[in-house]
Amino acid sequence: MSLDVDKIREDFPILGEKINGKPLVYLDSAATSQRPSQVVEAVVEFYTKYNANIHRGMYDISVKATEAYIHSKELAATLINADSYRQIIYCRNATDALNIIALSWGEPNIKQGDHILITDMEHHSNIVPWMMLAKRKGAILDHTALINKSFIDMEDFKKKLEMRPKVVSFTHASNVLGTINDIKQMAKLAHDAGAIVVVDGAQSIPHMPFDAKEVDCDFMAFSAHKMLGPSGLGILYGKEELLEETTPFIVGSDMIRSVTFDTAEWNELPWKYESGTPNIEGAIGFGAAIEYLGKIGMTNVRQHEMEITRYALKRLGEIGGVTVHGPGINDVDKKAGVVSFDIAGAHPHDIATIFNSDAVAIRAGHHCAMPLVSQVLGRDSVARMSFYIYNKQEEVDRAVDAIEKVRKVLRIKI
Asked if residues 250 and 275 have their Cβ atoms less than 8 Å apart, the reply is yes
User: Measured between alpha carbons, how far is 150 from 325 in angstroms, rounded to an integer?
Assistant: 7
User: Measured between alpha carbons, how far is 404 from 384 in angstroms, rounded to an integer?
Assistant: 16
User: In sequence order, what DSSP letters do the residues of 4-31 get, joined into one string?
Assistant: -HHHHHTT-GGGG-EETTEE-EE-BTTT
User: Measured between alpha carbons, how far is 367 from 126 in angstroms, rounded to an integer?
Assistant: 13
Helix (H), strand (E) at residue 389: none
**Is 350 exposed, middle or buried (CB count within 10 Å of its CB: 0-12, 13-18, 19+)?**
middle
SS3 363: strand
368 is catalytic: yes
Count helices and strands (H / E) in the chain: 15, 19
User: Measured between alpha carbons, how far is 93 from 274 in angstroms, rounded to an integer?
Assistant: 13
Annotated catalytic residue within 290, 368, 369, 403: 368
The residue ranges of DSSP E strands in 305-386, in sequence order, are 322-325, 338-343, 360-361, 363-365, 382-386
User: Measured between alpha carbons, how far is 94 from 168 in angstroms, rounded to an integer?
Assistant: 17
User: Measured between alpha carbons, how far is 87 from 351 in angstroms, rounded to an integer?
Assistant: 43
End-to-end CA distance of the chain: 33
SS3 384: strand
User: Torsion angle of alpha carbons 232, 235, 236, 237, nearest 10°?
Assistant: 180
User: Measured between alpha carbons, how far is 189 from 197 in angstroms, rounded to an integer?
Assistant: 10
The residue ranges of DSSP E strands in 261-381, in sequence order, are 264-266, 322-325, 338-343, 360-361, 363-365
- Residue 258's Cβ-side half-sphere holds a number of Cα atoms within 13 Å equal to 2
Catalytic residues: 368
